[in-house]
Amino acid sequence: MKLFLKILKWIGKILAGLIILLMILGLAFRLFSSKPVPPGKLVDVDGTKLHIRAEGPKNELPTLVLESGAGGDTDVFHWITEGLKKNMRVVRYDREGKWFSESSKDSTKSEFYARQLYKLLAKNGEKPPYILGGHSMGGPYNRIFRDLYPNEVKGMVFLDSSHPEQWERLGVEGLFDENQVFLIKSVGILSDMGITGAYYEITNPKSIDKHLPKDARDRKLDLTSYSGDIYRRYVKENNINDDILLRAGEASSLDSLPVLVFTAKKQYGDPQIWFEMQKELKNLSSIGEHYYIDANHGSIITKKENAEIINKEILLMAESIK
């Protein structure tokens, strides 16, 4: 029994030493690391600084406004922007609280984001008409924007977009289940302590966005390790998700608006249910077009070859409605 207690004591000392070491490494990271620099600019909208990147000429073609998914940032649209910015204006941004954008102190119910984006575009000197491009949850956000500002929008592009009824029809709880939320909150705390950053410095992990340029991959790792804000925003996105999908579902028709739907062939779970919902997105418009791409949910936009397929159709759309 004494030997067992002695072993437990030594184990306790080792664990305590490891915890102290992690805290020291985390503190060192917080003291000596610099805050990641946004690649775009910050624009004040009602007291909240939002990160926006606007590139390309302001000409007779509509401006493409890109809306990322629940966990996406402006970098996920790198190849789409690179492929189109020589011909047309391309705008991408981070919703409030995401990545390089500040958190808003105002109510963030379903229509808030569309109204905030409307003000951001005007504040940055952008002018309609717009083509809205939305990846994943960006699709529902775009549907709300178009429902509120129909005269501003002349085309929509759904990039493996979410569907208002997706969770019920896929038999999934939501963006994250309770265990995932707990894990995300825990990682957020570790990031605030600098431990996540120290771990990244030691292990040099690979980015999941392997198809993006190195500076984009490094920027994401730097920002997710610098503080817990990114992770807290994941939880917030989870909390508001039902409201966003419900409001998007109210925009049940796009009439004869030009619509492009791009669907990834590689899906988790039952792909046929997802494919059926993607067809329904196409049918929101009487002139919707649907394309399948040999990709997964992320690589449909982050892989250059896939972006080139998408860009070709977007440019044709833009030229047809100029």
Give this prediction's pTM: 0.89
Residue 41 confidence (pLDDT): 95
Residue 120: pLDDT over 60: yes
**Separation between Cα atoms, residue 63 and residue 321, nearest integer Å:** 11
Predicted local distance difference test score (pLDDT) of residue 158: 98
Instruction: State the pLDDT at residue 32.
Output: 52
**Residue carrying the six token digits 């997105």:** 281
Q: Does residue 297 contact residue 175 with C-beta atoms inside 8 Å?
A: no
Average pLDDT, the chain: 87
Q: How confident is the model at residue 35 (pLDDT cuts 50, 70, 90)?
A: confident
Mean predicted confidence (pLDDT) in 107-116: 90
What was the pLDDT predicted at 29?
46
**CATH class of the domain whose range is 41-174+230-320:** alpha beta
Could you read off the pLDDT of 262-280 as tens digits, one per residue? 999 998 777 899 999 999 9
Q: What is the structure's pLDDT at 284? A: 95
The rounded Cα 290 to chain-centroid distance in angstroms is 22
User: What ranges do the domains of the chain cover?
Assistant: 41-174+230-320
Q: pLDDT higher for 310 or 199?
A: 310
**pLDDT score for 182:** 87
Confidence class of residue 8 from pLDDT cuts 50, 70 and 90?
low
Could you tell me what percent of the chain has a pLDDT over 90? 60
- Using a pLDDT cut of 70, give the percent of the chain over it: 85
Would you put residue 89 in left (φ > 0), alpha (ψ -120 to 50) or beta? beta
Give start and end residues of each alpha helix (H) in 90-228.
Answer: 112-123, 138-148, 166-170, 178-192, 195-203, 214-226
Span 288-303, mean pLDDT?
95
